[in-house]
Structure 1
Amino acid sequence: MNLGSRLTQRLLRLPPPLTRDLVVERDLRVPMRDGAVLLADRWAPKSGAQGLPTALLRIPYGRAGMAAGPMVRPLAERGFQVLIQSTRGTFGSGGAFDPFRREREDGLDTLEWVTEQPWFGESMVLYGMSYLGFVQWAVADQLPPQVKAMIPAVSESALTLEFLRGDGFSLETPFGWGVMVAGQERRWAMPRQLLEAKRVRRAMDTLPLGQADVAAMGRRSDYIQDVLAHDADAPRWAEADHSHRVTDIAIPVSSVGGWYDIFLPGQIRDHQALQTAGRQARLTVGPWSHTSRGVGVAAATEALDFGLAHARGEQPPERAPVRLFVMGEETWRDFPSWPPPGYAPQRFHLHPGGTLAADAAGESAPDGYRYDPADPTPAVGGVRLALGVKAGRVDNTGLEARPDVLTYTTGTLDTDTEVIGEVSAEIWFKSSLPYADVFVRLCDVDDKGRSTNVCDGLVSLTGADRTSCATVRLWPTAYRFRRGHRIRVQVSSGAFPRYNRNPGTGEPRTTATTLRAADQEVFHDPAHPSAVILPVRVKS
């Protein structure tokens, strides 16, 4: 066990532990209000554990192995006792696993049970990444006084709803996750998932899409069918949205995110809600995707520096409320708030000839391209969560060579241009079909001509056969475009399979079987001033 301890210490760049000698009480039975019993394991130092603060992790992926071990052991070796509980219907816990819908009641029941245990030491923190962060948000407005802090990482209070937007359905993440959790308790689950990754990817090509779960794993998935049938605002997802609770959270919150994480927009929304309500909150965002090792490093550090201090009734080490990794500059910087002060929206306008400039374009004909959902514009890097897929910053040369991708590029920058905050685009657009998508990506072109993606976003349009302004919300970012580089904007009509391909017919995505190619037009003239809006640092 010491080998695993030392390896985790090295991977997470942690200080030496107080002890490596731990004991584990397994399969503790935690009763729920409806009679279901959830199982939990308690990790603690072999001696001196009584009275230590408790770190609570509630997880649907099992209490042992690669998912749980690196989160639990570092805390139990460095001042916490740790209770890790399998959520309802997973890995021995009773009831049925109905993702996102039972975490409030089960979480509150678990908190009550923990505070009544003889080993409980009168203080607790909530900790964990992704789904383990969501379960924190689900209960955080109704916590017992013993809970002193929460540390959610790469997570948010309405975990799945960004993917299910009616104006931008993100297919890859919820579909892949649904397949993963459906088979996660099989023997050799992880190797099987790696071997089956290509089949899962091919399954997303299935028409109708409502049969893709069977194509991926040979059977139906209630969760995937819900994802395909119900948009974010459907009553079916009401119990998965805890965003209305955020302003009532009274305990300190330290949130860790990544610029290429699937949950970043919602995570920043949660931080802003806490910030506006005057709560004690801090935010750390690094150059990471959802599964980057850096997320685990930062989250463990926050649990030990921020969480443990609050659990002991102490103040954590002083730092700014917002700490951001500024890409391009490749350094960490501290700020008083999000969005940081001193950055003003600046429009960079699309021009004919593939030019991007601060001034508006003159009279000009629109640019055109043909989008064919039978050969959809692919997702390349960026915000991805799929086995075998590279996320984050990648070379966009191949993508930009496609005839269904338009690019607009500034001249060479004569000074550094720093962009930190919310990014959006206004693209005047028309399609030959009433239904179309507009995907916009911001890129950095270096002095050798290599184009690297910074952030992006997509919006689906109805009535796209009429010229209109498509407002696209891109992922927030912190990026310094270096002198000698150029700023580039891509415009296309898809990023498959991150976003579902638009068939162009208006048929429900679950049952659509026809794919129609469309001729798209992007306008840039005085009446149609297409632009990307960047929060640029104001020179003092």
Structure 2
Amino acid sequence: MFLRFAFLLLAVLFSADSVAELSAPNADKGGPVDFQWGVKIPLHDGIKLNATLYHPQGQKDPLPCIFTLTPYISQTYHERGMYFAAHGYVFLTVDVRGRGNSEGEFTPLLQEAKDSPEIVEWLAKQSYCNGKVTMWGGSYAGYDQWATAKEFPPHLATIVPVASPRPGVDFPGFNNIYYSYDMQWITLTSGHAAQDNIFGDGEFWDAQFEKMYSGHRPFKDLDTIVGNPSSSFQTWLAHPAVDAYWDSYSPTPQQFAKIDLPILTITGQYDGDQPGALSFYREHFQYGSSAAKAKHYLVIGPWDHAGTRTPTAKYGGLTFGPASLLDMNKLHKDWYDWTLKSGSKPDFLKNKVAYYVLGDGAEQWRYADSLDAITAESRPMYLTSSNGSANDVFNSGSLMAAKTGSSSKPDHYVYDPLDTQFWAWDPTDSSEDNLTDVSGLLASSGKILVYHTPAFAQDIELAGFFKLPVWIALDQPDTDIAAAVYEIKADGSSALLAMDMQRARYRQSLRNAEFAKPGVIERYDFDHFTFIARRIAKGSRLRLVIAPVNSRSLEKNYNGNGVVAEESGKDAHTVTVTLYHDAAHPSALYLPIAASDKSATKAQ
């Protein structure tokens, strides 16, 4: 079965929309719809894009237009087109350049900032459009809304970017560590036709990634191993750190400052592209005007990537309350009615930020003035161990409120990148319960570091982002390290809350490599954990796990000082990672303690 890198670090740009669409809410069917296939949208360079047009039957007056721009073949969004046309909008599903029935050559992501603004302005001139144009979509179609907004087409009236990846942030890798999945996605979007059956063959992809992993082949060979040599893949690998190439995909600070549209950002706690979505959100708030920020709303549900479009009550072994099952079609329609038709603000948006709290007895939507206002304080729990050995779930170190003493001995683990039997976060069987299955941790005894808090004497609500500054020394110039936080309930069951990972050479900056000096103790800041909102039950503990990154799902770092994508087994170095937690090196996990919210709306 295809290995899963936990739940959130795999930026899944294809989210099984063909399946999600079938289960989209449709209780309110609206009115009859007229349909036109094969609408051609001309671009300035002579290329014509293919679109499918939906509009209310017998439409006489021009209406606002919604379009989605997708590499996943426009018929995938037939159900969405029918819904919005039945509820008073013109809706177009548009194949991106080089995909589906559109002309030209597909260059992933980068092309949309050029083509999409032309679509906006072409639509504004059509007789069925009243000059107000917006966009719909998540994942790739969420990203291209930001790519469009940064070019400021005059008739773009609002955007609703959902689960938006951000190149250089969470795709095609996370913290400069690439995904094997990149080649799976590139194959999905190769050529003009749909490649979903190839994409969805987990056993096939598992076998391809295994060839690279077990054979200790360089990551740059993956496209050849798969059988689909890719210039896009090689171009991405040629930019292993954040640089001007990755910057070119996103708005500049000056462009963020000028974006002055109503914006509704949507993501999920378990959305693999939450880092990208919130990166766009944060930078708009960093650079945007007060007036622009006042028009930007944020929704963070309990969902995974696909659930941001069509929420489900279960994911990864967890079950969510009924209030989590928002009718996303209706939320979009209400937003469009407000911003395009002078309707009232959607009832659901009671404040600028809506977020869903998980946990026994919680399961409710909360509201806050801002993302930062969700967290009241960041409370440290200091790492310690009794004998300098915290290498086992059942013989762990501790997370304590008081700082550790000066004599606290450091902990360490030894990691051999040629060990293909180890990956702490992969289930040892084909379990789909990837948030609750700890079999991989148990099988990794002795090769990881584990720390537990005492059992909580009362419920405690966490909301925001974990932070983990730790003091580490390596005996090699580089390695990849992951950190994960779990809730461990009184009955022994667990739930993975959030993860982060980093490549040691980028510990100071994702833009500049600086190799570690053997034996030198340095502070490593794990500060890219994803957002969580969860009530931790009385009697539960938190578990922190720190471990090597070693998976066929990810680019292998052989712990040397070369170009990681070019290194192979012959370049492997076993590394000892030593973690310090004495008085001079106060390693700590900072807990985001939730602010009280009197406007909370409890789930029924």
Q: TM-score, normalised by structure 1?
A: 0.89
Contact 2:163-2:277 at 8 Å conserved across structures: yes
Contact 1:90-1:97 at 8 Å conserved across structures: yes
Output the amino acid matched with 2:380: R
Quick one: which of 128, 135, 138 aligns to 1:126? Answer: 135
Q: Decide whether aligned partners of structure 1 residues 91 and 537 sit closer, same or farther in structure 2, where only a CA change above 3 A counts.
A: closer
Alignment RMSD (CA, Å): 2.8
Tell me how far apart the structure 2 counterparts of residues 452 and 184 of structure 1 sit (CA, whole Å).
41
Contact 2:478-2:560 at 8 Å conserved across structures: yes
1:61 counterpart residue number:
72
1:223 counterpart residue number:
232
1:394 counterpart residue number:
436
Tell me how far apart the structure 2 counterparts of residues 187 and 420 of structure 1 sit (CA, whole Å).
39
Alignment of 1:169-248 (within 5 A): 169-182=177-190, 185=193, 189=197, 193-194=201-202, 196-205=204-213, 207-216=217-226, 218-242=227-251, 244=253, 245-248=255-258
Measure how far apart 1:338 and its partner are.
Answer: 0.4
1:508 counterpart residue number:
563
Contact 2:268-2:308 at 8 Å conserved across structures: no
1:533 counterpart residue number:
590
1:413 counterpart residue number:
456
The DSSP-based 3-state class of the residue aligned with 1:57 is strand
Tell me how far apart the structure 1 counterparts of residues 104 and 150 of structure 2 sit (CA, whole Å).
25
Is 2:261 the partner of 1:251?
yes
Alignment of 1:42-441 (within 5 A): 42-48=53-59, 50-65=61-76, 68-156=77-165, 158-163=166-171, 168-182=176-190, 185=193, 189=197, 193-194=201-202, 196-205=204-213, 207-216=217-226, 218-242=227-251, 244=253, 245-275=255-285, 277=288, 278=290, 279=292, 280-292=295-307, 295=310, 299-318=328-347, 319-328=350-359, 329-341=362-374, 343-353=376-386, 354-362=397-405, 363-375=407-419, 377-378=422-423, 380=425, 390=432, 393-402=435-444, 403-441=446-484
The DSSP-based 3-state class of the residue aligned with 1:292 is helix
Contact 1:258-1:290 at 8 Å conserved across structures: yes
Tell me how far apart the structure 1 counterparts of residues 424 and 83 of structure 2 sit (CA, whole Å).
36
Q: Decide whether aligned partners of structure 1 residues 389 and 184 sit closer, same or farther in structure 2, where only a CA change above 3 A counts.
A: farther
Quick one: which of 504, 511, 521 aligns to 1:467? Answer: 521
Q: Decide whether aligned partners of structure 1 residues 450 and 131 sit closer, same or farther in structure 2, where only a CA change above 3 A counts.
A: same
- 1:330-358 CA-to-partner distances (Å, cap 9, x unmatched) read 32211221022551111111110411111
Shifted more, 520-529 versus 227-236: the winner is: 227-236
Is 2:23 the partner of 1:11?
yes
Contact 1:167-1:460 at 8 Å conserved across structures: yes
Contact 2:24-2:310 at 8 Å conserved across structures: no
The DSSP-based 3-state class of the residue aligned with 2:232 is helix
Q: Decide whether aligned partners of structure 1 residues 211 and 180 sit closer, same or farther in structure 2, where only a CA change above 3 A counts.
A: same
Q: Which runs of 5+ in 2 are unaligned?
A: 1-18, 312-325, 387-396, 505-514, 598-604
Measure how far apart 1:485 and its partner are.
Answer: 0.4
Tell me how far apart the structure 1 counterparts of residues 62 and 434 of structure 2 sit (CA, whole Å).
42
Tell me how far apart the structure 2 counterparts of residues 307 and 203 of structure 1 sit (CA, whole Å).
48
Measure how far apart 1:123 and its partner are.
Answer: 2.2
Tell me how far apart the structure 2 counterparts of residues 395 and 166 of structure 1 sit (CA, whole Å).
23
Identity within the alignment, %: 22
Measure how far apart 1:391 and its partner are.
Answer: 7.9
Is 2:576 the partner of 1:519?
yes
Output the amino acid matched with 1:406: L
Contact 2:72-2:194 at 8 Å conserved across structures: no
The DSSP-based 3-state class of the residue aligned with 1:435 is coil
Contact 1:347-1:358 at 8 Å conserved across structures: yes
Q: Decide whether aligned partners of structure 1 residues 339 and 172 sit closer, same or farther in structure 2, where only a CA change above 3 A counts.
A: farther
Q: Which runs of 5+ in 1 are unaligned?
A: 1-6, 383-387
Tell me how far apart the structure 2 counterparts of residues 88 and 160 of structure 1 sit (CA, whole Å).
22
Q: Decide whether aligned partners of structure 1 residues 495 and 124 sit closer, same or farther in structure 2, where only a CA change above 3 A counts.
A: farther
1:476 counterpart residue number:
531
Q: Decide whether aligned partners of structure 1 residues 142 and 220 sit closer, same or farther in structure 2, where only a CA change above 3 A counts.
A: closer
Shifted more, 46-55 versus 93-102: the winner is: 46-55
Shifted more, 10-19 versus 410-419: the winner is: 10-19
Q: Decide whether aligned partners of structure 1 residues 456 and 308 sit closer, same or farther in structure 2, where only a CA change above 3 A counts.
A: same
Number of equivalences: 524
Q: Decide whether aligned partners of structure 1 residues 517 and 123 sit closer, same or farther in structure 2, where only a CA change above 3 A counts.
A: same
Q: Decide whether aligned partners of structure 1 residues 400 and 79 sit closer, same or farther in structure 2, where only a CA change above 3 A counts.
A: farther
The DSSP-based 3-state class of the residue aligned with 2:246 is helix
The DSSP-based 3-state class of the residue aligned with 1:85 is strand
Contact 1:14-1:301 at 8 Å conserved across structures: no
Measure how far apart 1:292 and its partner are.
Answer: 2.9
Output the amino acid matched with 2:521: T
Tell me how far apart the structure 2 counterparts of residues 129 and 392 of structure 1 sit (CA, whole Å).
23
Tell me how far apart the structure 2 counterparts of residues 372 and 54 of structure 1 sit (CA, whole Å).
56
Shifted more, 348-357 versus 490-499: the winner is: 490-499
Q: Decide whether aligned partners of structure 1 residues 257 and 86 sit closer, same or farther in structure 2, where only a CA change above 3 A counts.
A: same
The DSSP-based 3-state class of the residue aligned with 1:161 is coil
Output the amino acid matched with 1:176: Q
Tell me how far apart the structure 1 counterparts of residues 20 and 556 of structure 2 sit (CA, whole Å).
40
The DSSP-based 3-state class of the residue aligned with 1:64 is helix
Contact 2:176-2:240 at 8 Å conserved across structures: no
Contact 1:168-1:458 at 8 Å conserved across structures: no
Q: Decide whether aligned partners of structure 1 residues 304 and 500 sit closer, same or farther in structure 2, where only a CA change above 3 A counts.
A: same
Q: Decide whether aligned partners of structure 1 residues 515 and 58 sit closer, same or farther in structure 2, where only a CA change above 3 A counts.
A: same
Tell me how far apart the structure 1 counterparts of residues 451 and 298 of structure 2 sit (CA, whole Å).
33
Q: Decide whether aligned partners of structure 1 residues 290 and 172 sit closer, same or farther in structure 2, where only a CA change above 3 A counts.
A: farther
Alignment of 1:25-40 (within 5 A): 25-40=36-51
The DSSP-based 3-state class of the residue aligned with 1:308 is helix
Shifted more, 333-342 versus 252-261: the winner is: 333-342
Tell me how far apart the structure 2 counterparts of residues 410 and 107 of structure 1 sit (CA, whole Å).
50
Contact 2:487-2:494 at 8 Å conserved across structures: yes
Q: Decide whether aligned partners of structure 1 residues 172 and 379 sit closer, same or farther in structure 2, where only a CA change above 3 A counts.
A: farther
Tell me how far apart the structure 1 counterparts of residues 555 and 384 of structure 2 sit (CA, whole Å).
29
